[in-house]
């Protein structure tokens, strides 16, 4: 056996450490900016990377009590009994203030003119739905926050930096280890408080709308540190995602179905009436399951979204971004049916937080997709995610101000030994393992699950554990290690919930069981899955 060696490391100090650079992370940084020095770690090459193919809406009621009530009710309805009402109340009542704040910082929005899929009533006009005026809503918000942060001298954004693990001392998070992805150098940083805002974990699956960076890093490091994760079985699969060879998995807005788009199988037959009374206007989870069953039935890898019977000029006027985007793929949606396939889209569960972003570990905070505030329940109302990141990112930042300075961290705490194995060989092995992991998750822990499939997945994941080395901090090994951590949590949580609710569907338990499972799942490194109110 070759001798172990220690990578060189550096010890740094900051007042507040933020892992991630999305909406929640940047809004948290802004809340902390006048309270001390803030260090943001991001794997990205720039602090804000707008996506050319992203879209989406944001739900923000005005001060009108009726709009707030509708937003509150729609959110509870989508969550199928598992929304935490206190968190939802915070979201809908404080949302308008954060919208006004964004506008004062230069963001531009307009009320969405089309009809929006309501979880209860199908295609419903909702006046509290907004979109970015000149680009996608998420990009509008990201760029606005980025420009704001760039002007702050005490907020440092460190790019190409990946958090490896949190540092816990006397039961509190006091810093983190991270790796410079360009040099391979390891660093230790101490902080009064640490915030996890790393987004989701869509890369658990081969079919996903998420970027390559969505590997569940925040959830994984929090779990390994002992934090409590909640509702991890609820993975939302978007039903209508472009399925073309060598093309990105671009999602088609649900409003295309709300405008009258049809779903057709490979034999060009409409099929939604066989699965749900609302047909194409059914909730996302029902549509995704129907598509998967139709693909099996017709032995095809996709179905079609058909808008060719709709007025082309109206489509161009209402969906200009979609029209331009699909012309890049030589598809005119007014003349061509679009091949689609479900894809992993949003992690509803995450690091369990309260309404101030506090986790079960002192000194660790979270918000956004990496967290579980209870806003979404078991099935997210799609236009709530951006608002949740804004509201709870800001609230977490405010709460972090009260944390005390951390105790000193000895430099040897960063001693991660590493075997000097061939980089090329290690990379190939890690990439092969990630590929096998993703395939297993899609096959056994995907849109439709069963006790048998989930047990098979757990057995396969246990085999992968032998290849996970904490001592190896190469980017590819770290990616595999984090995906493996969250894959185990998702699978164990899904196996424990012996019912179907929201985004979690068990074919062996197809009905809801409120008497036993009208509760939130909870799991940590030292405790198996349990269910709590």
| 53-67, 424-438, 439-453, 480-494: least confident range | 53-67
* Residue 116 confidence class, pLDDT cut points 50, 70, 90: low
Mean pLDDT of 268-296: 95
Q: Lowest-pLDDT range, 22-26, 39-43, 133-137, 178-182? A: 133-137
For residue 183, the model assigns a pLDDT of 86
Residue 11: CB partners within 8 Å, gap ≥ 6? 187, 188, 189, 190, 409, 411, 414
- Domain boundaries of the chain, sorted by first residue: 238-343, 422-532
Which tokens in the block code for residue 310?
Answer: 């709709």
pLDDT category, 389, cuts 50, 70, 90? very high
pTM of the full structure? 0.92
Residue pLDDT, tens place only, 303-320: 999 999 999 998 888 888
Q: Looking at residue 64, what is its pLDDT? A: 75
> What is the reported pLDDT for 473?
62
Percent helix, strand and coil across the chain, each rounded to 5? 40, 20, 40
214 near 226, Cβ under 8 Å?
Answer: no
CA atoms 238, 242, 245, 248: torsion sign: negative
DSSP E strand stretches across 137-228:
155-158, 161-169, 172-180, 186-190, 193-196
CATH topology classification for 238-343: Flavocytochrome C3; Chain A, domain 1 (3.90.700)
Digit-coded pLDDT (tens) for 234-261: 999 999 999 988 888 888 888 899 889 9
Residues with catalytic function:
284
Does the pLDDT value for residue 327 go beyond 80? Answer: yes
Altogether, the residues listed in the chain come to a count of 533
Per-residue DSSP letter, 443: H
Q: Higher pLDDT residue, 381 or 435?
A: 435
Decide yes or no: CATH 1.20.58.100 for domain 422-532. Answer: yes
Q: What average pLDDT does the segment 80-109 reach?
A: 93
Query: How many Å apart are CA 265 and CA 92, to the nearest integer?
Result: 38
Mean pLDDT of the chain: 88
Task: Return the SS3 of 286.
Answer: helix
Q: In this model, does residue 446 exceed pLDDT 70? A: yes
């Amino acid at each position: 056996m070759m001798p172990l060696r220690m990578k060189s490391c550096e010890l740094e100090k900051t007042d507040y450490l933020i892992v991630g650079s999305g909406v929640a992370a940047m809004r948290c940084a802004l809340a902390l900016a006048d309270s001390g020095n803030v260090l943001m770690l991001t794997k990205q090459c720039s602090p804000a990377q707008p996506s050319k193919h992203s879209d989406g809406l944001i739900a923000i009621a005005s001060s009108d009590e009726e709009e707030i009530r509708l937003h509150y009710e729609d959110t509870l309805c989508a969550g199928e009994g598992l929304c935490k009402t206190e968190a939802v109340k915070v979201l809908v009542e404080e949302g308008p203030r954060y919208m006004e704040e964004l506008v004062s910082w230069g963001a531009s929005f307009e009320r969405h003119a089309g009809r929006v899929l309501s979880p209860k009533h199908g295609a419903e006009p909702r006046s509290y739905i907004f979109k970015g005026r000149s680009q996608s809503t998420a990009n509008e918000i990201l760029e606005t926050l980025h420009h704001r942060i760039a002007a702050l001298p005490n907020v440092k954004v460190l790019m190409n930096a990946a958090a490896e693990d949190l540092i816990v001392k006397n039961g509190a998070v006091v810093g983190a280890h991270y790796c410079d992805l360009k040099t391979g150098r390891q660093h230790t940083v101490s902080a009064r408080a640490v915030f996890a805002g790393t987004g989701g974990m869509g890369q658990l699956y081969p079919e996903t709308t998420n970027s390559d960076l969505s590997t569940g890093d925040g959830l994984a490091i929090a779990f390994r540190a002992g934090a409590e994760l909640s509702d991890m079985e609820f993975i939302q699969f978007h039903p209508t995602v472009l399925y073309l060879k060598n093309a990105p998995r671009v999602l088609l807005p649900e409003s295309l179905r709300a405008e009258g788009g049809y779903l057709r199988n490979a034999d060009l037959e409409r099929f939604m009436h066989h699965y749900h009374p609302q047909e194409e206007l059914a909730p996302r989870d029902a549509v995704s399951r129907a598509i998967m069953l139709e693909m099996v039935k017709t032995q095809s890898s996709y179905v079609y979204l058909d808008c060719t019977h709709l007025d082309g000029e109206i489509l161009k006027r209402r969906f200009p971004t979609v029209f331009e985007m699909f012309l890049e793929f030589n598809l005119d949606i007014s003349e061509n049916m679009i091949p689609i396939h479900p894809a992993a889209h949003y992690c509803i569960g995450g690091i369990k937080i309260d309404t101030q972003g506090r986790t079960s570990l002192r000194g660790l905070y979270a918000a956004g997709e990496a967290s579980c505030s209870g806003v979404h329940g078991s099935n997210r109302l799609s236009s709530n995610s951006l608002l949740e990141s804004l509201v709870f990112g800001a609230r977490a930042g405010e709460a972090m101000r009260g944390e005390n300075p951390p105790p000193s961290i000895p430099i040897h705490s960063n001693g991660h030994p590493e075997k000097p194995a061939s980089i090329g060989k290690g990379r190939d092995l890690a990439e092969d393992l990630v590929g096998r992991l993703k395939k297993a998750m899609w096959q056994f822990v995907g849109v439709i699950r069963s006790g048998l499939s989930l047990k098979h997945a757990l057995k396969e994941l246990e085999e992968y554990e032998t290849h996970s080395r904490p001592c190896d901090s190469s980017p590819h090994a770290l990616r595999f290690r984090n995906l493996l951590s969250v894959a185990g949590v998702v699978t164990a949580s899904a196996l424990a919930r012996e019912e179907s609710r929201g985004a979690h569907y068990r074919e062996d338990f197809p009905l809801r069981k409120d008497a036993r499972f009208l509760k939130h799942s909870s799991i940590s490194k030292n405790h198996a899955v349990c269910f709590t109110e």
